[in-house]
Amino acid sequence: MVNQINKHTSMPLRAKTLLSFAVLGLVGLSSQAQAWWSNDWAYRKSITLDAQAAGVSNEQNTVPVLIRLHEGILKFTDVAPDGADIRFVADDDKTPLKFHIEKFDSVFNLGFVWVHVPKLAAGKPTSIWMYYGNQKATPENNSKDTYDANQVAVYHFAEKGTPVQDSSAFQHHATNFVATNESGLIGNAARFDGTASLSLPASITTTGGTGVTWSAWVKPVAPESSVIYAQAAANNLIVGLNNGAPYVSVNNVSTPLSAQIADNNWHHLALTSNAGQTTFYVDGQVRATLNQGINALQGLATVGGLGNQQLFHGEVDELKIAKVARDATAIQLEANNQGTNDKLVQFGGDEASSSSETGYFGAIMASLTFDGWVAIGFLMVMMVISWIVMAQKGRLIGRVSKANNFFLELFQSAKGDFAKLHAVTQASANPQEAHLNAQQFLLLSHSPLMRVFQRGINELHDRLQIDPRTGRPLAVLSEQSIEAIRATLNGALVRETQFLNKNLVLLTIAISGGPFIGLLGTVIGVMITFAAVAAAGDVNVNAIAPGISAALAATVAGLAVAIPALFGYNYLLTRVKENTVEMNVFIEDFIARMAENYNDPAALHAMSDD
């Protein structure tokens, strides 16, 4: 027996559990490598201006382009809270572009920026870069340089409780203020309730120009008859509604009525005029022409009514006046760029300064919102816990299997002589009398079979003492005693099985809960993306795709937690069942040999005297 023991334990005890992890590399198509404009900025995003989609049929110069930002296309946590580090650079990655921020809200993750684009070629895309991620940058707003010299007035209506400001270089600020709606078309919008109008200064004039261009976004709340804009002096210009249908009046001559626009939606109204003709546009399309022209605008103007008459109910945003008659392409471009369905601006992926190339993985990580990081962070904690459980249980079951095999060899060698086996497995105060060395005793301490055997031996000892009913030693083991010992061993089996199964429930939580937590993060991310897109009014695919892909990353993280845990759980559960079956077999073998070998007084007293 000792030779077999030494043979079995000659190799050192080592853990045999190996956890293998397969890493899926996400390699994406990258943008063309270009020089970085400034290393002080950590990130940049490519922006394509699709002139063909926006209806640009002839070249346009010095165009103020509206850039709508929301969390579906930009990770606001990488930008300064007030957008002070945002910069725009031409396609050559060298020439800074003038711009100004109308509104930047880092709480609701919305931004509206006007960028001066020197030229838009007809039918060809124009690319620019947006740089961000420099916490040391100072704000740079160049509203005066965003527009050309012919733009005499631009009103964003971004003010709250203060007179409306002119963002053009001419600074024709209003003389009073107007209520605003923070959920306007482009940031804030002027809100008129039919009780007052907004007065613009008499200094607004287009004299010395080559005509007039007037434009604004309006949102009537009812099909009423009211005045949106009036300039009574000189050529007597009025832009208004007649039962909800927009019209223009020049020198008391009005355009024919077009379709009603009082549908609670935003509509772009514009007119261009010179000495001989006035053209009226609705949503970028020509609606009417007048054989009456305006050489120049001058004198006091009002918005939202004609003095205190015909007051307007609704909202007005982005009112502009120029001293030149712009062409139809410019009007159409303005309507297509500034509306809720932006056809001009398309966003590309984000790039980091550490690399000249960015793949899909980097774009997804850059687009992750806070809720996505929370879900993924929670899932990573679950993943670490599940890995720890699998590693610990794997090592434990490995030790248990090796210890059980060792004990079974001892059990088979004893050939049913429990007294002999009991003596071999007991430590002795005298090392020379010990049958096993310290390493072998340590190995046996990990064997559930050894503990079950010791429990059975203890039960035998208890039953081989004096019979409390007769006061004499027991002669033989009764059938009832054997069944009682069997019940005790079965109880020990249950406790050993519980020990082996301990913490496996954490794997089942990871398997069943991980995908659902990931799905929750995805659903919330998709909801936020669509809400941000709706609030910003930008519904192109390039605006939605980064947010959706980032939201789906939470589901991927949930599956990454559940799949390894599923494989590990099934493997460990199979090993636990193997050990449970082995203990069941051992108990039956123990009971059978006990009933066979300990049914005569000599054997019983040998056991009791041990």
| Distance, CA of 125 to CA of 554 (rounded, Å) | 34
Instruction: Write down the H helix ranges in 476-540.
Output: 479-501, 504-536
The rounded distance, in Å, linking the Cα atoms of 262 and 246 is 9
Shared domain check, 507 and 451:
yes
CA dist 230 and 85 (Å) reads: 40
Contact (CB, 8 A) for 256 and 269: no
The CB density around residue 516, as the number of other CB atoms within 10 Å, is 12
As a whole number, mean pLDDT of residues 333-342 equals 94
- Rounded Cα gap, residues 134 and 307, in angstroms: 48
22, part of any domain = no
Asked if residue 276 belongs to a domain, the reply is: yes
pLDDT surpassing 50 at residue 18: no
Q: What is the mean pLDDT of residues 86-112?
A: 93
Q: Residue 13: pLDDT above 50?
A: no
* Of 159, 154, 185, 199, nearest in space to 316 by CA: 185
Whether residues 292 and 333 share a domain: the answer is no
Q: Are 49 and 128 in contact (CB under 8 A)?
A: yes
Q: Are residues 98 and 209 in the same domain?
A: no
- The least confident of 143-147, 416-420, 445-449, 605-609 is 605-609
Lowest mean pLDDT among 8-22, 130-144, 235-249: 8-22
Q: What is the mean pLDDT of residues 533-546?
A: 67
- The enclosing H or E element of 412 equals helix 370-414
Is a pLDDT exceeding 80 seen at residue 5?
A: no
Is pLDDT above 50 for 266? Answer: yes
Query: Residues 241, 213: one domain?
Result: yes
Mean pLDDT of 316-336: 95
Pair 166, 116 in one domain: no
| DSSP tag of 356 | S
446 neighbors 400 (Cβ within 8 angstroms): yes
Q: Is the pLDDT of residue 103 over 90?
A: yes
The pLDDT, as a whole number, for residue 472 is 55
Which candidate, 297, 450, 338, places its Cα nearest to that of 63?
Answer: 338
pLDDT of residue 595: 78
With respect to residue 5, please indicate whether it lies within any of the assigned structural domains: no
Most confident of the following: 113-117, 177-181, 204-208: 113-117
For residue 336, give its domain range: 41-148+329-359
Same domain assignment for residues 278 and 334: no
pLDDT average, residue stretch 447-461 = 84
d(CA 505, CA 183): 49
Determine which of 43-57, 96-110, 312-326, 342-356 has the lowest per-residue pLDDT on average: 342-356
Q: What is the pLDDT of residue 428?
A: 53
Q: Does residue 13 lie within any of the structural domains?
A: no
Residue 147 backbone phi and psi in degrees, to 5? -110, 160
State the pLDDT at residue 435: 66
- Spatial neighbors of 562 by CB under 8 A, at least 6 apart, are 510, 511, 512, 514, 515
For the cut 60, the answer to whether the pLDDT of residue 579 exceeds it is yes
DSSP 221: S
Q: Residue 479 burial (CB < 10 Å; 0-12/13-18/19+)?
A: exposed
For residues 120 and 183, membership in a common domain is answered with no
State which of 455-459, 502-506, 553-557, 560-564 shows the largest mean pLDDT: 560-564
In this predicted structure, what is the pLDDT of residue 598? 62
Enter the tokens of residue 530.
Answer: 């669509």
pLDDT value at 234 more than 70: no
135 pLDDT tier (thresholds 50, 70, 90): confident
9, 332 contact by CB (below 8 A): no
Percentage of the chain exceeding pLDDT 70: 83
**Quick one: the chain helix, strand, coil %, rounded to 5?**
40, 25, 40
pLDDT at 544 exceeding the cut of 80: no
3-state secondary structure 107-144: CCCEEEEEEEEEEECCCCEEEEEEEECCCCCCCCCCHH
- Report the CATH number that the domain containing residue 232 is assigned in CATH: 2.60.120.200
CA dist., res. 417 & res. 414, Å (int)? 5
- pLDDT of 274 > 90? The answer is no
The residue ranking higher by pLDDT, 27 or 506, is 506
Specify whether 216 is located in the same domain as 134. Answer: no
Residue 165's nearest CA partner among 192, 190, 194, 139 is 190
* Residue 538 pLDDT: 61
Helix (H, G, I), strand (E, B) or coil at 164: coil
The pLDDT of residue 72 is above 90 = no
* Number of independent structural domains in the chain: 3
Which helix (H) or strand (E) segment holds residue 63: the answer is: strand 60-70
Same domain, yes or no: 318 and 334: no
Q: Which of 16-20, 188-192, 352-356 has the highest mean pLDDT?
A: 188-192
In a domain, 1, yes or no: no
**How many CB atoms within 10 Å of residue 38?**
14
CA distance to 68, 121, 148, 345, 520, per residue, from 337 (Å) = 10, 15, 18, 7, 35
- What does the alpha-carbon distance between residue 590 and residue 6 come to, in Å, rounded to a whole number? 25
Summarised one tens digit per residue, pLDDT across range 415-444 is 767 777 777 777 654 444 446 777 777 888
Does 394 lie in the same domain as 490? yes
CB 492 within 8 A of CB 452: yes
The whole-angstrom separation of Cα 111 and Cα 101 is 8
Q: How confident is the model at residue 191 (pLDDT cuts 50, 70, 90)?
A: very high
Tell me the β-bridge partners of 191: 315
What integer pLDDT is reported at residue 3 of this predicted model?
47
Residue at 470 is within a domain: yes
Residue 442 pLDDT: 81
383 within some domain: yes
Distance CA 610, CA 604 (A): 10
Residue 26 counted as domain residue? no
Q: Is the pLDDT of residue 371 over 50?
A: yes
What contacts 512, CB < 8 A, 6 or more positions away? Answer: 562
Are residues 395 and 542 both part of a single domain? yes
306 & 262 share domain: yes
